[in-house]
Amino acid sequence: MSYFRITLMRSAIGLPQRTTGVLKALGLKKRMATVFHPVSLDVAGQIMKVKELVSVQEVDRPLTKQEVHLQRKPDPGYYIECHSGQEDA
């Protein structure tokens, strides 16, 4: 079974009540929030109503909150090969 990974990219401030209602029905409250829904025509219709505000990907399984956090964590930009004062034996 596949799932939609839906992320709210743009804010719904100032948009009609109907649009904010669709986002609430999808479970999106804050920017950059991510939810997972099974692929269905109902969810696809809701996504089409707010397609300018969300980013959608199709994934095999829903990720946990911790897995989503680890995916967003940036690369530190450096790697430690060895600590100073220690010699490789």
Give the model's pLDDT for residue 81. 80
CATH number assigned to the domain covering 3-72: 3.30.1390.20
Q: How far apart are the first and last CA of the chain?
A: 50
Cα of 11 vs its chain's centroid, Å: 14
Domain ranges of the chain: 3-72
Helix, strand or coil for residue 34? strand
| pLDDT tier at 25, thresholds 50, 70, 90 | very high
Statement: the pTM of the whole predicted model exceeds 0.85: no
For 50-89, how does the pLDDT look when each residue is reduced to its tens digit (9 = 90+)? 999 999 999 999 999 899 888 888 888 887 788 776 665 5
d(CA 80, CA 87): 14
Mean pLDDT (the chain, rounded):
91
d(CA 47, CA 52): 9
